[in-house]
């Protein structure tokens, strides 16, 4: 069923206000098809009816299913190109310069909600490429955390399918990926910088020990939290970030109304947060 402009705007605003994710008009058809699945599953006949369901007491649970439909299996290597370009062009050199001045040659990166590890390993590959130049003699620590142990063991294994690796530029692919029987294996040097641990972002007692990060990534995780939890978790990220560090959320996500301390830093095709 095609979605009317009014219904689209109503749902888009609802999802934005509750989850902090914006649906661009160009993604209307995508939303429409994902909605259709949830409407089938819930037996709702019209978009208005589904919208009412989302606003009802059962809405919070249904919204999680909808967000699952919207984000499912979306993770892959080199996913957010504008973000990576910004890192390479400006943010990484800037932090390296700051830390060089302090004589503190160690880079700490956190992929929060790391799932099967693509984001963490993308960073690892990117930084490996700079080992001979910008990051010569630097210590690199990349930490991936997730609440789900199954995806953590997948991440540790470092074996991927064609879909996951499709965006990796050839120059990286040749160096760091080996194909075996239709599976794609990461080279040990990429894995060497990265550790994966189980972590519940709600767990205050653990969160306070995630210290001194230069870059924190948390894409498509906060959209599942209610506003109060979001604020709490984001405050932890804020505390765990170096004064000159950057915090990234996913494409189309927003922290507006969640944390008013972070400042937005804009670059072509995206933005990041800074203290």
Partner 1 sequence: MDKLAMVKRAEELVGTIEDLPTIPVVATQVLLLLDQPEVRVEDVADLMLTDQVMTARVMKMVNSPVFKPGHEITSLRLALVYLGLKHIREMALTTSLIDAFNSDTGDFEISAFWEHSFGVGMVAKIIAEKIGYRDLEKAYIGGIIHDLGVVFLSQYQREEFQAVLDSIKGKPIKLVDAEAERLGTTHCEIGLCMARKWNFPEVYCELISYHHTPSEATIDPVLCAIVNLSDLFCSVRELNYGGREWVSFNLSEEEAWQILRNEAPNLANLDVERFCYELDDAIPDVKELVRSIFNSQEQAGD
Instruction: Tell me which residues touch partner 1 (CB under 8 A).
Output: 16, 22, 24-26, 86, 89-90, 252-257, 263-271, 274
Nearest distance from C-beta of residue 256 to partner 1, angstroms: 4
CA distance 182 to 273: 39
Cβ closer to partner 1: 16 or 138?
16
In the bound state with partner 1, the residue whose beta carbon lies nearer, of 15 and 39, is 15
Token digits of residue 76? 């892959």
Which residue number, 86 or 112, has a Cβ lying nearer to partner 1? 86
Q: How far is the CB of 31 from partner 1 (least distance, A)?
A: 13
Inter-residue contact 254 to 16 (CB < 8 Å): yes
Nearer to partner 1, 71 or 254 (CB): 254
Under a CB-based contact definition with an 8 Å cutoff, are residues 225 and 233 in contact? yes
Nearer to partner 1, 14 or 154 (CB): 14
Looking at the Cβ atoms of 238 and 267, the one nearer to partner 1 is: 267
Query: How far is Cα 147 from Cα 74, in angstroms, rounded to an integer?
Result: 18
Closest separation in Å from C-beta 90 to partner 1: 4
Q: Which of 53, 129, 87, 107 is nearest to 248 (CA)?
A: 87
At its nearest, how many Å lie between partner 1 and the CB of residue 128?
21
In whole angstroms, the minimum distance from the beta carbon of 69 to partner 1 comes to: 20
* CA atoms within a 13 Å half-sphere pointing along the CA-CB vector of 45: 0
What DSSP element (H or E) covers 178? Answer: strand 177-180
| H/E element, 64 | helix 59-71
Toward partner 1, which CB reaches closer, 26 or 181? 26
What are the structure tokens assigned to 81, written together?
A: 């190109």
Beta-bridge mates of residue 217 = 111, 248
Q: How distant, in Å, are the alpha carbons of 34, 45, 227, 229, 253 from that of 232?
A: 30, 37, 9, 5, 17
In the complex, minimum distance from the CB of residue 235 to partner 1, in angstroms, rounded to a whole number: 18
Q: Judged by CB, which is closer to partner 1: 235, or 254?
A: 254
Nearest distance from C-beta of residue 66 to partner 1, angstroms: 19
Residue 52: half-sphere exposure toward Cβ, Cα within 13 Å: 7
Contacts of 183 (CB under 8 A, 6+ apart): 159, 160, 161
Q: How far is the CB of 254 from partner 1 (least distance, A)?
A: 4
């Amino acid at each position: 069923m095609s979605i009317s402009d009014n219904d689209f705007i109503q749902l888009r605003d609802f999802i934005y206000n509750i989850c902090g994710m914006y649906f661009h008009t160009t993604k209307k058809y995508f939303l429409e098809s994902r909605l259709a699945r949830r409407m089938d599953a819930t037996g709702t006949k019209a978009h208005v009816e589904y919208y009412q369901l989302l606003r009802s007491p059962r809405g919070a649970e249904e919204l999680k299913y909808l967000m699952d439909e919207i984000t499912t299996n979306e993770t892959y290597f080199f996913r957010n190109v504008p973000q990576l370009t910004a890192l390479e062009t400006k943010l990484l050199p800037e932090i390296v310069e700051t830390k060089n001045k302090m004589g503190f040659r160690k880079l700490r990166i956190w992929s929060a909600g790391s799932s099967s590890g693509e984001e963490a390993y993308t960073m690892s590959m990117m930084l490996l490429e700079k080992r001979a130049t910008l990051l010569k003699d630097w210590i690199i620590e990349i930490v991936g955390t997730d609440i789900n142990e199954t995806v953590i063991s997948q991440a540790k294994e470092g074996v991927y399918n064609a879909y996951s690796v499709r965006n990796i530029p050839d120059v990286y692919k040749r160096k760091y990926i080996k194909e075996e029987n239709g599976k794609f294996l990461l080279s040990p040097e990429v894995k060497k910088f990265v550790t994966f641990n189980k972590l519940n972002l709600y767990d205050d007692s653990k969160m306070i020990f995630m210290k001194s990060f230069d870059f924190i990534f948390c894409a498509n995780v906060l959209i599942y939290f209610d506003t109060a939890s979001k604020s709490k978790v984001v405050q932890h990220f804020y505390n765990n970030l170096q004064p000159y560090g950057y915090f990234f959320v996913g494409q189309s996500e927003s922290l507006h109304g969640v944390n008013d301390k972070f400042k937005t830093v804009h670059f072509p095709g995206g933005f990041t947060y800074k203290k």
